[in-house]
């Protein structure tokens, strides 16, 4: 791939809650650090094509002025995996699904809460689907905390691609 941008993909189940919130939050963080040097996207292991982020996901993301109104879901695919320099799975099950599709991606796939450590087992990000706005807010803050904690690692990896 001769694209100079660093590609980061988040993966959850339906691609309407966790992964779009993580995608939007990381874009906000990276825009301050590395504008134009990255592409962040998301997909879901059981996602349908073209669904918006849930109402509560869009609402929770506003905490960081993240606008998810243009988000449309997409299923995880081999092409999306190949395009990614870094893949962050929201749960151990998502990580296993990614590796079933593309075993050769193992060196680029991380469990979100383990990153940058490579362990495949550990705590996943709680799925807020079907719960109230306060749960979505909690999950968004959880995601934001991990992204913030690892921001320097993301920036370092983007610099290394140049």
Specify the DSSP class assigned to residue 68. -
Residues above pLDDT 70, as percent of the chain: 99
Q: Which of 12, 17, 58, 85 is catalytic?
A: 12
Nearest to 43 by CA among 80, 97, 3: 80
Q: What does the domain layout of the chain look like in residue ranges?
A: 10-161
Q: Is 127 considered catalytic here?
A: yes
Alpha helices in the chain (DSSP H): 18-33, 55-61, 78-83, 92-101, 133-149, 151-161
Q: What are the pLDDT digits (tens) for 27-64?
A: 999 999 999 999 999 999 999 999 999 999 999 999 99
Q: What are phi and psi of 82, to 5 degrees?
A: -60, -35
Reply yes or no on whether the pLDDT at 162 is more than 80. no
Q: What are the pLDDT digits (tens) for 15-27?
A: 999 999 999 999 9
Look up the CATH superfamily of 10-161: Response regulator (3.40.50.2300)
Q: What are the pLDDT digits (tens) for 78-131?
A: 999 999 999 999 999 999 999 999 999 999 999 999 999 988 899 999 999 999
Q: Which of 17, 67, 83, 127 is catalytic?
A: 127
Are 22 and 42 contacting, i.e. CB atoms less than 8 angstroms apart? yes
Q: Which of 17, 18, 85, 108 is catalytic?
A: 18
Return the SS3 of 9: strand
In 3-state terms the chain splits into helix, strand, coil percentages (rounded to 5) of: 45, 15, 40
Are 112 and 144 contacting, i.e. CB atoms less than 8 angstroms apart? no
Q: Is 12 considered catalytic here?
A: yes
Reply yes or no on whether the pLDDT at 147 is more than 90. yes
Half-sphere exposure of 87 (CA within 13 A, CB side): 32
Separation between Cα atoms, residue 78 and residue 62, nearest integer Å: 31
């Amino acid at each position: 791939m001769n694209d100079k941008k660093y590609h980061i993909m988040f993966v959850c189940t339906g691609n309407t809650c966790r992964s779009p919130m993580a995608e939007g939050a990381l874009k906000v963080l990276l825009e301050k650090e590395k504008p134009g040097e990255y592409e962040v996207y998301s997909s879901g292991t059981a996602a349908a094509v073209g669904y918006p982020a849930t109402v509560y996901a869009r609402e929770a993301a506003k905490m960081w002025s993240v606008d998810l109104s243009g988000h449309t879901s997409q299923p995880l695919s081999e092409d999306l995996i190949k395009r990614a320099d870094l893949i962050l799975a929201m749960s151990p099950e998502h990580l296993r699904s990614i590796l079933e599709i593309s075993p050769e991606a193992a060196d680029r796939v991380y469990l979100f809460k383990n990153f940058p450590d490579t362990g495949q087992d550990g705590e996943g990000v709680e799925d807020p689907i079907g719960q109230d706005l306060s749960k979505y807010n909690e999950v968004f803050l959880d995601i934001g905390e991990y992204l913030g904690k690892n921001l320097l690692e993301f920036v370092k990896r983007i610099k290394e691609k140049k």
